[in-house]
Structures are given as C-alpha cells and as structure tokens.
C-alpha cells in the first residue's frame, strides 16, 4: 500500500498542470505559463496592429486592456514570402504581427536579470519570432531573460514611396520594420523590470539580416540607450553605398513606385486598399532592404562608425567558415569560363579586383572560389570590417569569432555537405542540439555548452569570458585575436586574410578613401 501511495504521489508530481504567472505591463496584466522551472509569455503585444490606416506608418502604442490577458500561444509571423531557413516549416502569417515572447527563470529572487533580445534573420523578407531554434528555454536556465519579437518584412516593412514621404511628419519613408525593432526595444526598456529583467543590461543579438539590423541599430539615433551590448552573427552593412544605390531614399522611392505599378496601384490610397496577400505579388523582391533616410538611418553603419556617431557599446561579432554552403544550390554548375560573368549576373558589376583574390583557372578551382567569394562578399568582409572599426573607433571592446564546426548534417538531407555554413552556429548558440535527432558528438555538445556560455556571459557583463571557458581575448584590429569556435576553441589569426584584403582594396577604390578614413 505504501508503494502504491508513493507511486501515485510521483505520478501526481509528473503530471501536475503548468502554473500561471502574471506581470503588469504598461498596457495591462499578462499571464504566462510556468513549467519545469521556466515562465514563458507568448504573444505579448508591443505595438498596435499595423493594419488599415496604420499600414506603412510607424508602430503605434498598444491599446490598454482590462483584466488579465493570457499570453500562452505564439502570435502569427509577419506577412512574408518563403522561409528564413531552408527546410523550415512555413509559419502562419498575418499583417497583425507585432508581438513578442519572453522566457525567464521561474524564480529569480530580487535580483534583476540581464536581457537578451533576439532579432531574426531572413533577408528582410521572411522570419519568425516563434521559430523553435530561437526559443530561449535553454539560455534562460543560465539566469538571463530571452526576448524574441516580430517586425514587418518585405513591402510591409520596407516600402519607400513619394506619397509616404510626403505624408510623414519626419519627411521619410521605408524602414517600418526597423521602426518596429526600435519599438520592441522601447517596450523592453519600459516593461522588462516587471518580468524580473534589468533594463540597463539589454543585449541585442541578430544573425544574417538580424545582424544587419544590429549594425543599423548601432548606427541609428533612435535606438540610443535602448541596449547596452550587441552581438551580430554573419550579418552587417558596411560595403560602400555606391554599390547599393537603391538604399538611398530617392532611389528607394522610385523602386516603391515601380512596385506599386506592378500591382496596378497608381496611388498610395490604392495600395492601402489592397488586401495583405495581394501585396506579396508584383515586384516584391525589390522592396526588401533598409533605406538611408533622415529619421532612423541618416548615415550608413560604416559612416556612423568612421565619424564616431555609432551607439557606443561592447560588441561581439563573427562569421562561419563555409557560409556559402547554404547559399549555392548547384555548385557543380560553376565553371571557370563563366565564373566572373555568373557572379556579375547575380551581384552586379563588381570591381574586377575582387575576382583576383579567388583563383579560378580550372572548374575545380572555380567551385571553391565561388564558395569563398560568396562567403566573404556576403558576410566575411563585413564582420572583419565591423570588428576593425569597433577596435579602432570604439571605446568599448570587440570580441571577434570564426565558427568552424561542421554539424552532423545527415547525408540525403537538405543540409548535407554544408559544413560550417550560414545558420550552422545557431544550434550551438541557443544550445538546441536536441531539437534535431542527428549524430551529435561530444565535441558538438562541448561547443554548444561553450558558445551558449560565451553569449550569456556577454549579455550579463559585456565580456564573454567566464569560469570554465577557454580565454577569449578582445580583438585589437591586428591579424590575431580571433576566437576560433570548433572542436578546438582558441584564438588565432584572421581567416582568409588575403582574400579579405582584396575586398579592402576594391572597396577603397569605390569609396575613394582608405578603409576607416572619414569621407
């Protein structure tokens, strides 16, 4: 009988229902779910739904509510095309998407915890704050709070148009998705203390387009004081703007007019009258980039750093050894005789000096050259440039990494042979190896433990170093001090330095000034 009583008590403990926890925000009370030592709030509104008359306007405050609002389910992702990661299950979408999610330890005592705010990637055309890989359940167990949020994408988030500029009190348009990011950070600053968070220890972290967003937020006057540290993985905007003329407001407005015409809309009123699904047709691909405009982004991140106008915080940045493994779908089609023409067709008329750093005499050479070229063009040079600018112009340290681990992507899967590709570090950063039933090794698990530890330490203190971790030196702008993150974790020289220096020479010619010099 005593055995039966013990068994029944144990069963009761295992199957006990999740407990509700509440917090008071500026708009009203919210109720999350506490289970297994964590409390999770899903679908907390941080701005009014950007629909109807609020489409293509800056995010507006949330209407207050009475009583307790249950936040137990993720909100839909923002309207988008495609998915942010190959193989991802397409999320449910809606134009009503400005919500955030919070993971926190269930018991944090009286101390206020550091806050890590994740900005998703997806080329500014796709992405979801509810993607399982970004869940904060593992990191929150290390005594921090993790926040993810939605922001408008594609034509909903980045449409510039002369009529939008004319109606704007700040004489600007575009960047609505970036304004959403600022609004989410403002919400965190005002409200996170109610969840046990410290509003003076907020770290923004982004990968790919999320990393681009981090560079923009460091350059934007609107985000000053909203975060105290920044992490960017494989994404930043530091190339010469002459190579991206459509980022300028006047040209972005022309793109917007062309996009509207492709939908049969001749006026802004006609555009606003279209249903959300219709806006994902037409020339959508052109409306997926930030805009240099006078309000949120008056200068590019490169110019902001060169002139010392950036938001000054500690920085952690880096990229992966085989970024382009996930980008090139048919590497076997790359040939030596069409190498340069194929790249120009995809990326435009790039300076010829860039090709010299990637020998491509034979087809075998050309395939490796294409992987290296796209790795450095899209990600490698930007992160190296950003680290050097912070080391030379900033007052706070920069920690620079090179991720080399090849996850055990299964043969026959979409990811086979990708290696240390774009996206690959995310499983390790969020300590989510167990989300995939792959043949993870002890080295994989050690690296996930170390990387999640580095990221959490940085969120807490602005320094990734801590007990039990290999020492990570601050990057000084020279050839050393890059932390290699792989089976072996140790500092080393800048990877692919000769090729990166080729980009430096080419970009110096485009700008007309040496790297790091004021215009």
Whole-number Å distance between alpha carbons of 144 and 231: 15
pLDDT at 329: 77
Residue 224 forms part of a structural domain: yes
| CATH number, domain containing residue 149 | 3.40.50.1820
Residue among 163, 186, 239, 323 flagged as catalytic: 323
Summarize the chain as % helix, strand, coil (round to 5). 40, 15, 45
Residue among 126, 173, 208, 215 flagged as catalytic: 208
Average pLDDT in the chain: 94
Specify the DSSP element, H or E, that contains 489: strand 489-492
Q: How many CB atoms lie within 10 A of CB 280?
A: 18
Q: What is the mean pLDDT of residues 446-454?
A: 98
What percentage of residues in the chain have a pLDDT greater than 90?
88
Which residues, in sequence order, are bridge partners of residue 70?
31
Between residues 355 and 78, which one has the greater pLDDT?
78
* Cα dist from 292 to 126, 251, 285, 334, 388, whole Å: 21, 10, 18, 35, 23
DSSP SS3 for 232: strand
Ranking 133-142, 227-236, 384-393, 478-487 by mean pLDDT, the lowest is 478-487
Query: Tokens in use for 51?
Result: 């629909």
Residue 189 forms part of a structural domain: yes
Which residue is associated with the tokens 């008590």? Answer: 9
pLDDT at 108: 64
Q: What is the mean pLDDT of residues 246-251?
A: 97
Which residues, in sequence order, are bridge partners of residue 38?
35, 105
DSSP SS3 for 227: coil
Tens of pLDDT, residue by residue over 79-122, are 999 999 988 899 999 999 999 999 999 976 778 999 999 999 99
Residue 448 forms part of a structural domain: no
Residue 35 forms part of a structural domain: yes
What percentage of residues in the chain have a pLDDT greater than 70?
96
Whole-number Å distance between alpha carbons of 191 and 30: 12
Residue 138 and residue 146 in contact, taking contact as beta carbons nearer than 8 Å: no
Give 483's pLDDT tier (boundaries 50, 70, 90): very high
Pure H helices in 93-172: 154-158, 162-167
Tens of pLDDT, residue by residue over 492-513, are 999 999 999 999 999 999 999 9
Those residues with Cβ within 8 angstroms of residue 443's Cβ, 6 or more apart along the chain or in another chain: 405, 487
pLDDT at 7: 40
Residue 226 and residue 207 in contact, taking contact as beta carbons nearer than 8 Å: no
- pLDDT above 70: residue 2: no
Q: What is the mean pLDDT of residues 122-142?
A: 98
Specify the DSSP element, H or E, that contains 14: helix 2-14
pLDDT at 18: 64
Residue 339 forms part of a structural domain: no
Q: What is the mean pLDDT of residues 5-13?
A: 38
Residue among 161, 402, 422, 432 flagged as catalytic: 422
pLDDT at 458: 98
Residue 422: active-site member: yes
DSSP SS3 for 251: helix
Residue 472 forms part of a structural domain: no
Tens of pLDDT, residue by residue over 328-363, are 878 889 999 999 999 988 888 788 888 888 999 999
Reported pTM: 0.95
Residue 505 forms part of a structural domain: no
Query: Tokens in use for 512?
Result: 């007309």
Query: Tokens in use for 113?
Result: 């915890």
Whole-number Å distance between alpha carbons of 487 and 65: 51
Give 12's pLDDT tier (boundaries 50, 70, 90): very low
Q: How many CB atoms lie within 10 A of CB 425?
A: 25
Residue 208: active-site member: yes
Whole-number Å distance between alpha carbons of 363 and 355: 15
Residue 293: active-site member: no
- pLDDT above 50: residue 11: no
Up-side HSE of residue 156: CA atoms within 13 Å toward CB? 35
Tally of structural domains, the chain? 1
Give 287's pLDDT tier (boundaries 50, 70, 90): very high
Tens of pLDDT, residue by residue over 170-219, are 999 999 999 999 999 999 999 999 999 999 999 999 999 999 999 999 99
Exposed e or buried b per residue across 485-519, where buried means at least 16 C-beta atoms within 10 angstroms of its C-beta: beeebebeebbbeebbebbbebbbeebeeebbeee
- pLDDT above 50: residue 1: no
Q: What is the mean pLDDT of residues 406-414?
A: 94
Residue 49 forms part of a structural domain: yes
DSSP SS3 for 229: strand
Those residues with Cβ within 8 angstroms of residue 287's Cβ, 6 or more apart along the chain or in another chain: 154, 155, 158, 159, 255, 256, 259
Q: Characterize the bridge pairing of strands 482-485 and 489-492.
A: antiparallel
Residue 145 and residue 104 in contact, taking contact as beta carbons nearer than 8 Å: yes
DSSP SS3 for 45: strand
Whole-number Å distance between alpha carbons of 371 and 105: 42
Maximum C-alpha span of the chain: 86
Residue 464 and residue 240 in contact, taking contact as beta carbons nearer than 8 Å: no
Domain carrying residue 297: 15-57+77-313
* Cα dist from 429 to 10, 396, 406, 453, 506, whole Å: 35, 23, 14, 8, 33
């Amino acid at each position: 009988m005593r055995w039966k009583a013990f068994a029944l008590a144990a069963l009761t403990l295992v199957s006990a229902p999740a407990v509700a926890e509440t917090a008071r925000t500026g708009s009203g009370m919210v109720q999350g779910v506490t289970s297994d030592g964590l409390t999770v709030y899903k679908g907390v509104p941080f701005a009014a739904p950007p629909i109807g008359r609020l489409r293509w306007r800056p995010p507006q405050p949330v209407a207050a509510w009475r009583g307790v609002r249950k936040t137990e389910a993720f909100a839909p992702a923002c309207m988008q095309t495609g998915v942010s990661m190959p193989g991802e299950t397409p999320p449910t979408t809606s134009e009503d998407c400005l919500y955030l999610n919070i993971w926190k330890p269930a018991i944090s005592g009286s101390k206020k915890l550091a806050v890590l705010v994740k900005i998703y990637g997806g080329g500014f055309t796709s992405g979801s704050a509810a993607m399982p890989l970004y869940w904060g359940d593992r990191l929150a167990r290390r005594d921090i709070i993790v926040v993810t949020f939605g922001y408008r994408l594609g034509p909903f988030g980045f449409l510039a148009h002369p009529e939008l500029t004319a109606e704007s009190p700040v004489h600007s348009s575009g960047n609505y998705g970036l304004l959403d990011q600022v609004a989410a950070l403002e919400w965190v600053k005002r409200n996170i203390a109610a969840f046990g968070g410290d509003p003076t220890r907020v770290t923004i972290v982004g990968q790919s387009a999320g990393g681009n967003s981090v560079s923009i937020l460091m350059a934007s006057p609107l985000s000053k004081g909203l975060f105290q540290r920044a992490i960017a993985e494989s994404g930043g905007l530091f190339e010469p703007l002459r190579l991206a003329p459509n980022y300028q407001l006047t040209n972005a407005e022309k793109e917007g007019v062309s996009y509207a015409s492709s939908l049969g809309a001749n006026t802004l009123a006609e555009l606003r009258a279209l249903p959300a699904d219709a806006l994902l047709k037409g020339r959508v691909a052109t409306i997926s980039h930030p805009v240099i405009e006078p309000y949120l982004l008056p200068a590019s991140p490169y110019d902001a750093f060169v002139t010392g106008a950036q938001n000054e915080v500690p920085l952690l940045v880096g990229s992966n050894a085989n970024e382009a493994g996930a980008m090139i779908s048919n590497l076997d089609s790359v040939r030596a005789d069409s190498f340069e023409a194929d790249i120009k067709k995809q990326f435009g008329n790039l300076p010829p000096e860039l090709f010299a750093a990637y020998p491509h005499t034979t087809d075998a050479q050309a395939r490796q050259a294409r992987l290296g070229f796209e790795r450095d063009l899209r990600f490698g040079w930007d992160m190296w440039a950003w680290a050097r600018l912070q080391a030379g112009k900033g007052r706070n340290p920069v920690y620079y990494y090179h991720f080399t681990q090849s996850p055990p992507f299964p043969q026959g899967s979409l990811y086979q042979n990708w290696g240390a590709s774009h996206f690959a570090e995310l499983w390790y950063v969020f300590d989510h190896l167990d989300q995939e039933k792959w043949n993870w090794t002890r080295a994989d698990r050690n690296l996930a433990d170390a990387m999640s530890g580095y990221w959490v330490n940085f969120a807490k203190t602005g320094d990734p170093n801590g007990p039990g971790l290999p020492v990570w030196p601050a990057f000084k702008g020279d050839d050393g001090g890059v932390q290699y993150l792989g089976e072996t974790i140790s500092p080393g020289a800048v990877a692919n330095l000769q090729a990166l220096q080729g980009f430096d020479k080419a970009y110096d010619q485009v700008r007309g000034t040496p790297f790091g010099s004021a215009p």
